[in-house]
Structure 1
């Protein structure tokens, strides 16, 4: 008899015995990250993929259920299909100068958001008709045609016309709307992250942009400059620069994350509270990974959506262990 999940709106605090059994006990994981790490290990086990290792602070190899073996990594087991693996390899080989892509994490770390980006957005890039249909449904005022999809994209790393740093978008859709205007969808993808990235402080360009871009009710608010919203602040300002510099007519900056990743969802809600209304501003949108998969499924790609769902969103195997 299968028990009904009592609390479908939350994930469990997985007992340490279960985490240790599947080699995923990491004491500093958030509640979501712990469950997601276990989910990845269970998915790997179902696929018959061998476990990998990481080197701990004492220089010893430690098996980790959410890591792929060297052989599995080299074979592209972190990707949902051979076509996506080939696309990821090509995109990384031809990435923009200065683009920060940790290839080891992409190939071997199952929790990393970059493999998710390639599996999801890369899968859409390989199917232009599906990409157009999904984007038109999600952002109908911006997207009539997708002209190009890029990964780890920045319009100008280190350029004072932008953020003068290495800030970039995980995925970037260059588009045209129904009237032919140049539009964009800039996407930051989160999976198990908790919005505690290293803070970039002491950069005068950030303060200049915050004051001039028009996005914020209080551009000098110190909360914008700290976690959990500082990365959203930097990327949204970069997106606004694309409009201010007349490279695009309109656009939206999107944070895409699982609905049960509470730290990300709270950060997005907090960041949204800082935003001002005005003309000619880049919009901000929060999109759950589950909603994205729902649109993919509705567009007729149920097999693709189901594969992504089982890999990243369906925590049924975790609940069954509880």
Structure 2
């Protein structure tokens, strides 16, 4: 945690990330979701400032993220907008919002979006520990899910990703999109997030509707923004400065070559 009197521009790294915060704060009035300003200012490990520093920064240049969107939907032609902590104002039934929401248009004029759930240090099993409310079970009994999917998904560590996918499906219908994809974004080394994503994915009729993407792969796919790429990667995905504090089997430890071992 950073000091109590720290300014927003310490944890939000660029003017574009801070501009995205002000837009999200304005958009949040009357909508689901929650922007915690103290968390944004002070929590250096929280996924919410990370999301602003990644997707919020790129919101000033939506075209730069098109190469990554095309990895999800190769029909994408134009990225129209990137919003943070956004959901339709009514009709989603869950009260939650996407961490990031990327709208795009295909070459044939179809409207699509990618709804992002972003994780960094958070433990998926520590959130949403109570069994799901009936409304979530009812919305899982649809053309999107395999029979009896809810019984496989109503478990610690899976509920948050399950609920985010339900939000994706609700948004398709509320906003009349033609195409939509849910994405879980976390560090490449986050095996727990990868496994949880796969367990939710396997309960979908169309498994292409949900996928895991590493933070590193998104940063690498972005066009331009070289200075941002360097500083963002140093802050969030380069674990070499603390490698000596990590357990020997921790996947974040840099690989040691045979020559360096003598």
TM-score under structure 1 normalisation? 0.69
Q: Which residue of 1 aligns with 2:20?
A: 87
Residue 204 (1) aligns with residue 125 (2): no
- The one of 115, 120, 126 equivalent to 2:49 is 115
**Quick one: distance in 2 between partners of 1:268 and 1:283?**
11
Match among 210, 216, 233 for residue 290 of structure 1:
216
Residues 1:71 and 2:5 aligned together = yes
- Which of these residues, 92, 106, 111, is aligned with residue 40 of structure 2? 106
Aligned counterpart, 2:117: 188
Does residue 269 in structure 1 map to residue 203 in structure 2? Answer: no
Where 1:192 maps in the other structure, the secondary structure is: coil
* Runs (5+) with no aligned partner, structure 1: 1-66
- Give the match for residue 29 of structure 1: none
Structure 1 residue 244: deviation in Å?
4.0
Distance 1:211 1:184 in 2: 23
How many residues of Structure 1 are paired with residues of Structure 2 in the alignment?
Answer: 244
Deviates more, 1:301-310 or 1:284-293: 301-310
Q: Does 1:301 align with 2:235?
A: no
> Are the counterparts in 2 of residues 79 and 119 from structure 1 also a CA contact under 8 Å?
yes
Backbone CA RMSD of aligned residues: 2.2
Which 5+ residue runs of structure 2 have no aligned equivalent? Answer: 247-262
> CA 1:223–1:178 in 2, change beyond 3 Å: closer, same or farther?
same
Q: For residue 118 of structure 1, report the CA deviation from its aligned partner.
A: 0.4
Deviation at 1:310, TM superposition (A): 0.6
Change in CA separation of 1:238 and 1:90 when aligned onto 2, cut-off 3 Å: closer
* Partner Cα distance (1:141, 1:200) in 2: 38
Which string of whole-angstrom CA distances, capped at 9 and with x for unpartnered residues, describes residues 161-198 of structure 1? x3x12121101112211100111111111111121212
Q: What does residue range 153-168 of structure 1 map to in structure 2 within 5 Å?
A: 153-157=86-90, 159=91, 162=92, 164-168=93-97
**Residues in 2 aligned to 1:91 and 1:310: alpha-carbon distance in whole angstroms:** 26
